[in-house]
Amino acid sequence: MNKLNIFLILVLSFTTIAVAQVGIGTTNPQETLHVSGVNSTVRVDGLNSSSHSRNLGGSSNYNVMVNSEGTLTLGKQSGELLSVSNLSSPVVVQTQPDSDLNAEELYTRNFVLEERALVIITYYVAIDFKTYDGTNMIDDGRAKVAHNYFFLGDGTNADTTKSYGMTSVVYSNVNCDTATGYIYNSRSMTIALEAGTHSIHLQGAVFGGGLNTDAAFSASFGNGDRLDIQAIYL
C-alpha cells in the first residue's frame, strides 16, 4: 500500500471519528452523545459540592445553567434579594387646584440579578390624608384618591415610559374631625428581568381632578412601609 492510500485512509478514519455519534446504553445513538436507559444520569465532578460553591450538598437539587458559549454550570439559588423599610421620614404630596395627577418619588432602591430571573416585587405603604396644609383632618365629604406605583430603572435612571404595580385607595370623611389612623396601599407583582443592576423607583401620587381650592388636600406617604424583592432564577 503506497503512502497516498495510507494518508487517505487516515483522513477518512479521523473524519469518521469526528462526526461519530456516541451511545451509552444504546447501539443506535440519535445525538452526538446519547445516554439511554431507565433513570439514567450524567455526572460532572466539577459541579459537585466539593468543587462548586453553589452546590451546598445534602439532598437538595440545584439548577444547571448553560451560558452563551455552551458551558454548563450551577445556577444562582432563588431567594430574597431585599427586604427593607425604606422611608426614613414621610413624603407629603399635595393636590393643586385645576390639576390632575401630582406625583413625587418616595424612594429608589437598587438590586442586582446575577442571572435572568422572575422577580417578585411586593410593597406596602401607609397613607395619611389631611387638609392641603396638613394641619387638620378631612371632613368635607369629598372623595380623596391616592395612588402608588413604581418605575423600573438601571440602578440610576428610571424608565418613566411604563409604570408597574399601580394600586389606589379612596378616602372620604364628613362632619367628623376625629377620624385618625393610616390607610395602606399594597401590591405584589412578578416581572421577568435579565441579569444586571436594576432599580425600583416607588411613586406616591394624589389626584386633583380640577378641584376647587377649598377641596385641595395632602397625602403623607410613610410612617409604615416595606419593600420586599425576591428572585426566582430561571
Q: Render pLDDT for 170-219 as a digit per residue (tens, 0 to 9).
A: 988 887 655 667 899 999 999 999 999 999 999 999 987 666 777 889 99
pTM of this prediction? 0.78
Q: Say how far residue 121 (Cα) sits from the centre of its chain.
A: 5
Asked which of 9-13, 41-45, 84-88 is least confident by mean pLDDT, the reply is 9-13
Give the CATH number, domain containing residue 139. Answer: 2.60.120
Check whether residue 59 and residue 159 sit in a common domain: no
Nearest CA-CA partner of 205 in 155, 120, 144: 144
Mean pLDDT of the chain: 86
d(CA 83, CA 207): 29
Check whether residue 140 and residue 184 sit in a common domain: yes
Question: Average pLDDT of 153-169?
Answer: 96
Nearest CA-CA partner of 203 in 145, 130, 152: 152
Phi first, then psi: give them for residue 50, nearest 5 degrees: -85, -15
Number of domains within the chain: 2
Check whether residue 89 and residue 192 sit in a common domain: yes
Instruction: Indicate whether 90 pLDDT > 60.
Output: yes
Please name the amino acid found at residue 78: S
Task: For residue 99, give its domain range.
Answer: 79-233
Q: Buried (b) or exposed (e) across 111-132, using 16+ Cβ within 10 A? A: bebeebbebbbbbbbbbbbbbb
Last residue of a domain, one of 74, 100, 119: 74
